[in-house]
Amino acid sequence: MPAKRDFLSVTDITPDETLDLLNKARETKSLSNGRDSGKPLSGKSVALLFDKPSLRTRVSFQVGIQELGGYSVFLGKEEVGLGGREPVSDVAKVLSGYVDCIVARISDHKLLQALAKHASVPVVNALSDLEHPCQIMADLLTIYEHKEALDGLSLAYVGDGNNVARSLCLALPAVGMSFTSASPQGYNLDEASVKTARGRATSPSVQVRTLKDPAEAVAGADVVYTDVWASMGQEGEAEARKSVFDGYTVDPPLMEQANTGALFMHDMPAHYGEEVTEGMLDHPQSVAFPQAHNRLHAQKTILEFLLSGN
């Protein structure tokens, strides 16, 4: 029996596996809207361990697990108190005796790593302060569907160098896409992630850049992406960040700087009047809602991959 695999980072699967999963997701999605692809999780149970609120992540995982024939158990912060009420190692060992997989949405990536270390079943990162790999698989699926290719495309990210930006930066070069971010001084991606991303590039033509000017970043981009200026856990910084990020709002005039037919993406929830203007999610070039819906299909494929011996 193959050793269990975790999905804590986009780097936990190879570029070839990434493309295979995207193709599989497209295929199963097309079969009766993804609901007739068999029951590969029949008889299997999945724990959803969440210490952060969620709309898209919780619903897409719970519905996806059910459509695959499995059963999910939701555990909120009050039930578990990971690392507080009970040691992470104990939680991991107990859950491993009950379920076949743990999907964790927790603040501290180090706690997530400890959970995976002590669990004997696969652990999936449904969001941590460091990465958001499931979101990025849905993003890639969305781009692939609308552009019919990934290799040779470029994505411009405007905003905070957060977990979503980091996962995009690490994932895109490995499938042939260039990545450029524009953030205020002190809010850009860390150099270690940028260096790793450059090492994952498929060719010298694949660029990874970090800039300050949104217009410069967006110029010539095939995809324009943004996210909230203050993530969960940073609520106390929200007001201060509004001043720092002034000028980093994605609006129709900024989209005009991108390539003709460029896609606009946002992982949601959106804060109108901050990172986006009112109506941007419904802009003719926006794919934000299909992007959200693709969380379901991408995550189903990830779960099947991890629980069926890859």
Q: In this structure, is residue 3 part of a structural domain?
A: no
Residue 87, classed as helix, strand or coil, is coil
Q: Are residues 46 and 140 in the same domain?
A: no
Q: How far is CA 259 from CA 128, 214, 220, 224, in A?
A: 32, 14, 5, 10
Could you give the CA distance from residue 281 to residue 255 in angstroms, rounded to a whole number?
12
Q: In this structure, is residue 267 part of a structural domain?
A: yes
Write the pLDDT tens digit of every residue in 256-300.
Answer: 999 999 999 999 999 999 999 999 999 999 999 999 999 999 999
Q: Confidence band (pLDDT; 50, 70, 90) for 231?
A: confident
Residue 158, classed as helix, strand or coil, is strand
Count of C-beta atoms within a 10 Å radius of residue 188: 17
Strands (E), 30-100: 45-50, 71-75
Contacts of 16 (CB under 8 A, 6+ apart): none
Q: Confidence band (pLDDT; 50, 70, 90) for 35?
A: low
Could you give the CA distance from residue 176 to residue 141 in angstroms, rounded to a whole number?
14
| pLDDT above 80: residue 89 | yes
DSSP 237-275: GHHHHHHHTTT--B-HHHHTTS-TT-EEEE-S---BTTT
Q: In this structure, is residue 221 part of a structural domain?
A: yes
Q: Are residues 32 and 71 in the same domain?
A: yes
Q: Are residues 105 and 71 in the same domain?
A: yes
Write the pLDDT tens digit of every residue in 135-151.
Answer: 999 999 999 999 999 99
Domain count, the chain: 2
Q: Are residues 110 and 224 in the same domain?
A: no
Q: How far apart are the first and last CA of the chain?
A: 11
Q: Are residues 193 and 281 in the same domain?
A: yes
- Residue among 72, 107, 111, 67 nearest 91 (CA): 111
Could you give the CA distance from residue 93 to residue 97 in angstroms, rounded to a whole number?
7
Per-residue tokens: 52: 């952060």
Percent with pLDDT over 90 in the chain: 85
Write the pLDDT tens digit of every residue in 137-192.
Answer: 999 999 999 999 999 999 999 999 999 999 999 999 999 999 999 999 999 999 99
Full residue range of the structural domain in which residue 169 is found: 135-291
Could you give the CA distance from residue 244 to residue 184 in angstroms, rounded to a whole number?
7
Q: Are residues 74 and 213 in the same domain?
A: no
For the chain, the maximum distance between any two Cα atoms, rounded to a whole number of angstroms, is: 55
Q: Are residues 34 and 144 in the same domain?
A: no
